Structure 1
């Protein structure tokens, strides 16, 4: 196997922290960034700046960080600081606490500018778990407190980044041979792959779809989906996690199916994992949406949206892949439908909610708005976020520019998907039914579709 020899004594590290607006995945904007350039011994350069994200900060983020929209009005926009970020991180390994998040946010911001930002990166959460095992918590605040590392300005970029510098310096000292640090450095390039893995990656497309990892006897050991199959499989082959290393040892071939539509890829991934049960896919016995919103009526007669762990015995309004996603969505729903944060348990107050002071709540929290008026808007949300008894076709990308995809829902039941040529318009539902590839309709497929419609812009939806 080829190898990359890294002399960590000569490495430069860009240790950073990013604060964001919060919001839907890949729709967040940066509000503050702090980068400390560290040579393994001391900080040799730094860049700290507020950033105007050109979008509203989620209320719970304002409370967490203290950064509000007014503070960012005159701050530079990301494109104005992008050059400085590139310069200070050049030839550096990016280090962050939960690096996957910070690195993703940076890459997303740069991609909006049309620039492919790539750096090796290292996560101090993963490194801490290896070098300082059995800690009760690996969140930055609790970990540095347990280790006696002083910390100021928690949840501000500069304070968190500086604490990460001190933590990383301690981790470097603990890793005398630097072997663990080497293994945890991640890169998205194909260098260092064994010839067998390199051959597999070279034959994969950089398109959206499903990929299937096979052993030598043809057995499936992993199924995944990606908007870039080649890039995602390459990540499996360069990742140092236990699961990835096992896949690297056992893989003989990777086959794939292009879908064009990410929605179809998500639906196929969920169904085919259940059918094939590959050993390296996490079990789908539990729902892939562990958090849900449920409708309840309080003692005053107001309908409230409650965020709870998914309970298969109850009917959910919407489901989410994480607590953070559920909370962000509930804030957005509450704002969009002019609902009350107090009634929706987003704010624990004895009097009125904070948005009432901003004229963003009609006062249901203090009885100023009747339950009947308030509940009508809750029911509007319910109707707009449910396809029960509906007949519709979701039109999305196809596998090439001459094609579109269609997902069919009939009488509130997901029927399957199809691809059709742009030269033929889908006007006749009976023709579409003839080409539909059937799939199971279940709770997961419903939540995948609703979640996708909330987050993504499909080409169009047709009712019939």
Structure 2
């Protein structure tokens, strides 16, 4: 894979407060450049949700209401997040979830396309019993010694998904083939079906 052919791309991850629909409590956006995660230009934000974090969500990611009480509200950071994301491609594990939540919080934002490492893993490593992020980290034997924070924090999960994407990209010889395997139908960037010829 020639990484220099890739468009601007950020691996994203979001953590929520456990409600449905969720309020955001953490967002991470990690650029991938030249086949490597670029932590020097990454963005990571904690945000105080409008509704309290549920006990279950706090147990998963460790972000309690007390931890978040002095963080900025979403309206204070939304423009900054939007600016970093811009019109780049994004990638996430089970990406329709992150895309849906970010789109709800950033109604004017539209990525160029959405890669899903879950969908890509099913195409790349067929026959695995599980395709969750933990299972894939173990299968690929990712070196996460430099990952920030810990599992289920947005910065850690974005870093892990970025390494997973880079590893799987080696199985595809062009960006277009990667896109064909990784973009879920109906999300931005999905290859368009060829139009049927008509008599007109």
TM-score bracket, normalised by the shorter chain, equals 0.7 to 0.9
Q: Going by fraction, where is strand more abundant, 1 or 2?
A: 1
Counterpart-to-counterpart distance in 2, 1:80 and 1:93: 24
User: 1:96/1:72 Cα in 2 relative to 1: closer, same or farther (>3 Å)?
Assistant: same
Deviation, 1:172, is: 1.6
3-state SS, counterpart of residue 75 of structure 1? coil
Deviations, residues 53-79 of structure 1 (Å, cap 9, x unaligned): 111112111111111111111111112
Task: Work out the number of aligned pairs and report it.
Answer: 187
Correspondence for 2:140: 147
Q: Deviations over 1:95-128 (max 9, x none)?
A: 00011000100011123xxxx2111211111111
Alignment partner of 2:89: what SS?
Answer: strand
Which residue pairs with 2:178 in the alignment? 181
Change in Cα spacing, 1:58 to 1:245, as seen in structure 2 (3 Å) is: farther
Question: Offset of 1:177 from its aligned partner?
Answer: 2.8
**Corresponding residue for residue 109 of structure 2:** 117
Unaligned runs of 5+ residues in structure 1 are 1-6, 189-234, 250-464
What residue in structure 1 maps to residue 91 of structure 2?
95
Superposed counterparts of 1:164-179, under 5 Å: 164-179=161-176
Distance 1:179 1:40, change over 3 A: same
Q: Which runs of 5+ in 2 are unaligned?
A: none
CA displacement, residues 7-62 of structure 1 (integer Å, 9 cap, x when unaligned): 971412111110001222xx210111111111242315101121111111121111
The runs of at least 4 aligned residues of structure 1 exceeding 4 Å deviation read 184-188
- With normalisation by structure 1, the TM-score equals 0.37
Deviation at 1:131, TM superposition (A): 1.6
TM-score (norm 2): 0.82
Contact 1:14 1:88 in 2 (8 A): no
Deviations 1:154-197 (A, max 9, x none): 11111111101110111122212333223256599xxxxxxxxx
Contact kept? 2:61, 2:153, Cα under 8 Å: yes
Could you tell me how far apart the structure 2 residues matched to 1:172 and 1:147 are? 13
Partner deviation per Cα, 1:344-403 (whole Å, 9 max, x = no partner): xxxxxxxxxxxxxxxxxxxxxxxxxxxxxxxxxxxxxxxxxxxxxxxxxxxxxxxxxxxx
Aligned-partner Cα distance in 1 for 2:98–2:34? 21
Structure 2 CA distance for partners of 1:134 and 1:40, relative to 1, 3 Å? farther
SS of structure 2 residue aligned to 1:174: coil
Cα distance in structure 1, aligned partners of 2:122 and 2:4: 20
